[in-house]
């Protein structure tokens, strides 16, 4: 792989190969993705259209994307919005659903602010999307069932943040861990609204017998994650692209496992289609668990190989007094449930994923797109 086009093509082929059975089951169905213009939407949307293109003998999957485009319409979505299988609608999930919404067989609710920098700046909007927006969609599912047009699968994007800063005795962490979460701290708007969102999903699934499933993503990275997002890897990539030193605003000691987005997307579709109703699944990768400092050092080595990057690692202290407040010291999932129940098996290793990501960022380092 030499550039972002090679990366995207390889990733979409991989996703569709890993999801052959699942995507066939979506043939001829209508799918709604909220927040489809965001990071996770990048491959959720493109993988469906890619499958349609190379399976023309089958009925296409019809895809509708809802997004408020608060940060503009991304160029990748502009380039594909004329696809006859795709309908892109400007809509904010905190508003009542459009009257002409129609019938969907599958719904993916991915609309949410997910970067700590941005959800701390917009706490009310973050909670509204995760609670009010979710409730609108769950009510829709209930009403559709009452009409005899029930959805076949509903996927709610929760987060590994619902575990908070886990007790070391519960790391690696499985789905039964109840969490160690502040309900009033600077990250609480995101963590607690996702926890309540899960409660809504479980009770709708149980009370109305609805096919609602939940995913808890663990530190996804890769193509689609804006270079201005504010999370670790985009920041590192921006330093690399600008040929500046990589700056860490901490000692870099917190540790994570990092799951490449193509593997994560495979897991998300599997949960939506095959997951058990009212249950949550960790989706990530279980090894290696590395520190943020080690991640930065890996990026430096790979960037040197790819671009002859000469930058070094610099440790500084953030001016934001709450920068690290409630930041989990370790985050590492147990993914046995998704492996055993769904056949989820992430394969793209960290160095390969970092290489793909840096190649993608080299061609996608613009700031914010315009509407």
The Cβ-side half-sphere exposure at 149, using a 13 Å CA radius, reads 10
Angle between helices 4-18 and 39-54 (to 10 degrees): 70
Which residues, listed in sequence order, are joined to residue 106 by a DSSP beta bridge? 31, 153
Beta strands in the chain (DSSP E): 30-34, 62-67, 86-90, 106-109, 153-157, 212-217, 220-221, 246-248, 255-256, 259-260, 280-283, 290-291, 313-315, 330-331
Contacts of residue 183, Cβ cutoff 8 Å, sequence gap at least 6 = 192
- Cβ within 8 Å of residue 121, ≥6 positions away: none
Q: Note the pLDDT of residue 321.
A: 58
Q: Which residues contact 203 (CB under 8 A, 6 or more apart)?
A: none
Residues 6+ apart with CB under 8 A from 15: 43, 47, 50, 262, 265, 266
Instruction: Check residue 49 and give its pLDDT.
Output: 98
Q: Which residue has the tokens 């009510």?
A: 139
- Contact in structure between 38 and 68 (CB atoms under 8 Å): no
Return per-residue pLDDT of the chain as tens, 371 residues.
999 999 999 999 999 999 999 999 999 999 999 999 999 999 999 999 999 999 999 999 999 999 999 888 999 999 999 999 999 999 999 999 999 999 999 999 999 877 777 788 888 888 888 899 999 999 999 999 999 999 999 999 999 999 999 999 999 999 999 999 888 888 888 889 999 999 999 999 999 999 999 999 999 999 999 998 888 999 999 999 999 999 998 899 999 999 999 999 999 999 999 999 999 999 999 999 999 999 999 999 999 999 999 999 999 887 765 555 667 899 999 999 999 999 999 999 999 999 999 999 999 987 444 33
Give the predicted TM-score (pTM) of the model: 0.95
| Catalytic residue check, 190 | yes
Q: What is the pLDDT of residue 324?
A: 58
Fold of 4-222+259-285+328-348: Rossmann fold (3.40.50)
Q: How far apart are CA 49 and CA 180, in angstroms?
A: 40
pLDDT computed for residue 367 by the predictor: 47
Kindly state the tokens that stand for 129: 């999307």
Q: 66, 106, 177, 190: which is the annotated catalytic residue?
A: 190
């Amino acid at each position: 792989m030499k550039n972002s086009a090679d990366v995207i093509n390889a990733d979409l082929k991989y996703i569709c190969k890993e999801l052959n059975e699942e995507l066939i089951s979506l043939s001829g169905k209508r799918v709604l993705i909220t927040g489809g213009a965001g990071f996770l939407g990048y491959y959720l949307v493109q993988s469906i259209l890619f499958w349609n293109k190379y399976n023309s003998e089958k009925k296409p999957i019809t895809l509708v994307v809802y997004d408020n485009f608060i940060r503009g319409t991304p160029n990748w979505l502009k380039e594909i919005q004329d696809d006859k299988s795709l309908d892109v609608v400007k809509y904010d999930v905190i508003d009542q659903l459009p009257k002409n919404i129609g019938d969907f067989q599958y719904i993916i609710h991915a609309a949410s602010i997910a970067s700590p920098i941005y959800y701390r700046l917009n706490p009310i909007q973050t909670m509204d999307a995760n609670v009010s927006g979710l409730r609108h969609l769950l009510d829709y599912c209930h009403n559709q069932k009452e009409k005899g047009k029930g959805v076949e699968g509903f996927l709610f994007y929760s987060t590994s943040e619902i575990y908070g800063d886990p007790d070391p005795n519960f790391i690696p962490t499985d789905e039964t861990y109840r969490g160690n979460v502040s309900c009033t701290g600077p990250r609480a708007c995101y963590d607690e609204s996702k926890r309540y969102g899960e409660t809504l999903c479980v009770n709708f699934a149980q009370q109305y017998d609805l096919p609602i499933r939940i995913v808890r993503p663990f530190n996804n990275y890769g193509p689609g994650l804006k270079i201005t997002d504010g999370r670790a890897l985009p920041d590192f990539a921006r330093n690399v692209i600008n040929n500046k030193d990589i700056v860490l605003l901490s000692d870099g000691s917190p540790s994570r496992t990092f799951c490449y987005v193509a593997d994560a997307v495979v897991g998300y579709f599997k949960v939506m289609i095959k997951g058990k109703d009212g249950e949550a699944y960790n989706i990530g990768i279980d090894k290696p668990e590395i520190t943020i400092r080690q991640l930065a050092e890996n990026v430096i080595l790979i960037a040197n190989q790819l671009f002859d990057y000469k930058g070094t690692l610099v440790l500084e202290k953030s001016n934001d007094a709450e920068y690290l407040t409630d930041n989990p010291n370790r985050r590492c999932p147990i993914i046995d449930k998704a492996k055993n129940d769904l056949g989820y098996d992430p394969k793209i290793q960290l160095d390969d994923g970092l290489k793909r990501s840096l190649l993608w960022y080299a061609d996608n380092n613009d700031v914010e797109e315009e509407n």
